[in-house]
Structures are given as C-alpha cells and as structure tokens.
Amino acid sequence: MTLRETIADARAKNTAIGHFNISTLDGIWAVVDAARELKVPVIIGVSEGERDYVGVREVAAIVKTIREERAKDGQNALGIFLNADHTYSFDRVKEAIDAGFDSVIFDGAQLSLEENIKITRQCVDYARKSGRDIIVEGELGFIGTSSKILDAIPEGAAVGEAMLTKPDVAIRFVRETGVDLLAPAVGNIHGVVRGGDPALNIKRVKEISEATDTPLVLHGASGNTADDIRNTVKSGVVIVHVNTELRIAYRTGLMKSLSENPDEVAPYKFLRPAKLAMQKVVEEKLHIITGI
C-alpha cells in the first residue's frame, strides 16, 4: 500500500503507525528489522539536522533500495516509508520532495498563524504538482525543538490548558492549508524531561480530531506513558513519533559495547550492540503504538 492508503487503513482500524527518527545506517536497520519482526508498517524520519548528516538524496536512495529488496521476497507488503521530519522552510520541503521522500512536515509552529498557513499552503501546492502522491503535514502549537534529555519543559512549549492547540484554530488551519496530517500541541513536548513528562490532554486530542476530521500526529512521544500513547491513538492519532529514546539507547548501547570490548576496532562489531539496543526500543514502542 502507499503511505496514504496505510494511514487510511490505520485510521479505519483505530490503530497507528510508528515513526522513528534515524541519524545513521544503524538506525535505519534498527527500524526496518523491528518492523519486519513484528510485520507492521513503519515510517523512518529524518529532521533537517539528520538529513544534513546522512544526506537528503542518500537516505532516500537507501530506503528505496531496502524497500525494493524487501518487495522481492514479499517482506514489504506492509510498507517502509520515509518522512522529512521538522522542516522549517519551503526550500527544504521542496528539496525533500524532489529527493523522493514519501512525506514532508513543514513546522511553522513558532510563526504567526497567518505565516504558518501561508507557507504550509505553499508546501501543499508544490507537493500536489510533484507528480507523486506526497503526504504533507502541518504543525500547530509549539512543543519545543530538541530531542534530548531536558532538565525542564522548554520555555513557551504548549503544555498548559491555555496554550494547547484550539479546535477552532485547527479547523481554520486544515481548511486553509489543505494538509493531509495535523500535528497539534496537546501537552506533548520534544525530548525527555528528567522526572517525567507532563500527561497528555486526551480530551483535547479527541476534540481536535472530531472538529477537523483529519488524521493527527503525536510528536515527542519518547517521554510519554504507554497509557497516554494508547489513549491518543484511540482518540484520533494515526502516527506516533519517537526519537529521543532511540538516541539514548544508541548512546548507552555503544558505551557499554566499547567498555566491554576495549580492544575491538572493527566498527561493525562494536556498533552492533548499539543497533540492537535501538531495535529493542522500536519493537517495544511498536507494541504500544499498534496494539499488537
């Protein structure tokens, strides 16, 4: 199935698709192997910084090659998709579309509503003229920008009731931009807060879902509880983003591998435990996200 069809299928079944960010080839294989193990579709995400490191066209070519290889032996029936996560300009969105990405996100959460709508609409128009079926996501409500361990909630992040994305604003945003997906602020934040992330506002998720009749995306799910994630899926979320927990697993796995094998110099040997640590996190999250 295409990504659009996969999203529609998840929505019909009241389940969700896991979206996992990567920075290296180890990350790609961690996500792909976890998806193959559990037989579920996945989305591989690369933010602007991650794309700059891996290479925009390079990561598209790698995912395309893996997808083609999986198709040969019937293992890609459920889909491996590539998303340009958190993109802050039209030019970078255009770059990802031209490189062959399946979906793109324009993140205008820190802009005025009018400017956010204007640029998001520009991205949607370009995607529609691309000749391919590109999924475009818009963001409404600031939830921070850093996927890392935080000492406190980022200043300005929409976690209080008054700062959450409002249903009436979401309706206008979806109507005037034509986006396929909407990422609202519902108490979620990027990164993991020491001491625990705030609870998600499930009621607001449901209100926005019903008001817009648009598939929703939950960003910053690394620090949220399993119950919160499950309840957002029940209330209209169809894609769940995880990044920080993968980064922590990779770093921890690598440090452990190097400390236990101080004389090992072959990267494919000392990196493997780090890759497997990421894969374990992906599998755990997929169980929560998909309900399998």
Do residues 18 and 44 make contact, with C-beta atoms less than 8 angstroms apart? no
The residues with which 37 forms a beta bridge, in sequence order, are none
The catalytic residue positions are 85
Domain residue spans of the chain: 3-290
Instruction: Quote the tokens at residue 6.
Output: 């996969």
Which pLDDT does position 164 carry in this prediction?
87
Which pLDDT does position 180 carry in this prediction?
98
Fold of 3-290: TIM Barrel (3.20.20)
Which pLDDT does position 151 carry in this prediction?
44
pLDDT for residue 247 is more than 50: yes
Q: Amino acid letter at 146?
A: S
Please give the Cα distance from 147 to 188 (Å, whole number): 12
pLDDT digits (tens, 9 = 90+) for 145-196: 566 554 455 555 445 565 789 999 999 999 999 999 999 988 776 555 555 5
- As a whole number, the mean pLDDT across the chain is 89
Which pLDDT does position 150 carry in this prediction?
44
Please give the Cα distance from 194 to 218 (Å, whole number): 20
